[in-house]
Amino acid sequence: MVLTFLHYRHPFKAISKTLHTVMTRGRLSLAIPATFLLSAMLLLLGTLLVSACATPPSTERVQLEAGNYVLDPTHARINWSLSHAGLSEYTARFDTVSGTLQFDPDNPENSQVDIRIDPKSVSTGLAEFDKTLAGDKKYFDAETYPEIRFQLTDIVITSDRTGDLIGNLSLRGVTKPLTLKTTFNGAGKSFGHKGKTLGFSAIGQLTRSDFGMTYLTNFGIGDIVTLRIEAEFNPVL
């Protein structure tokens, strides 16, 4: 069997050949190709490894860990949308987001959240328009105002898994209150991270003219902006 590997440049072919030989000598049916069996074995192994690394999230407070958490940028999305002349909801997102969470499961209202967004990371799928939105003074004016920030000031618990996160949103040099209706999706093992990851979904609305972004509001482009947020926080260990 060792010599078999030496005659093949590709390990996959060598393993397949070895399985084929073993099955032949064992007088087993060759109706199933050795390559298929190997693929099935690898798939099973991968499934077992993933199962060992991921568990269903829990919302039980006794299983939640208090402490400091950091936003996982690879599992965080802030999408925003507004009316496009009443025809559709024009949708975009921010790609660069960071944040921290001080989590108190016994008294969730004492938790603290601080989220920072880079307005230059605005993404519509149109590169040139992204540059316009990010840099033009009619829009985010990112050179003058390089950060969008949300700082939590209060939490109103509405159920075991939901609450209103009330905070201050700073955008274009203006700070206004913003309420995010938030759902706690639970805590569970996230692949590649130690400890339990916390997951949240949130939705909120703001009026862009409150922050000096009035361009085209008189021509059917919506003044109300809807935020849809998905976020995971990993423990700081």
Q: Which residues form the domain of 27?
A: 2-53
pLDDT at 195 over 90: no
- Shared domain for 119 and 206, answered yes or no, is yes
Q: State the Cα torsion 210-212-216-218 to the nearest 10°.
A: 50
Asked whether the beta carbons of 195 and 236 are under 8 A apart, the reply is no
Whether the model clears a pTM of 0.85, i.e. scores above it, the answer is: no
Q: What is the CATH number of the domain that holds 106?
A: 2.40.128.110
Q: What domain count does the chain have?
A: 2
pLDDT digits (tens, 9 = 90+) for 58-71: 666 547 899 999 99
Within 8 A by CB and 6+ apart from 97, the residues are 71, 73, 76, 78, 115, 116, 117, 118, 121
Asked whether the beta carbons of 54 and 176 are under 8 A apart, the reply is no
- Shared domain for 47 and 83, answered yes or no, is no
Distance CA 199, CA 197 (A): 7
Element of type H or E holding 199: strand 196-207
Last-in-domain residue among 17, 33, 53: 53
Per-residue confidence band for 143, with pLDDT thresholds at 50, 70 and 90:
very high
Least confident range from 99-108, 134-143, 152-161, 187-196: namely 187-196
Distance CA 18, CA 55 (A): 36
- Shared domain for 40 and 90, answered yes or no, is no
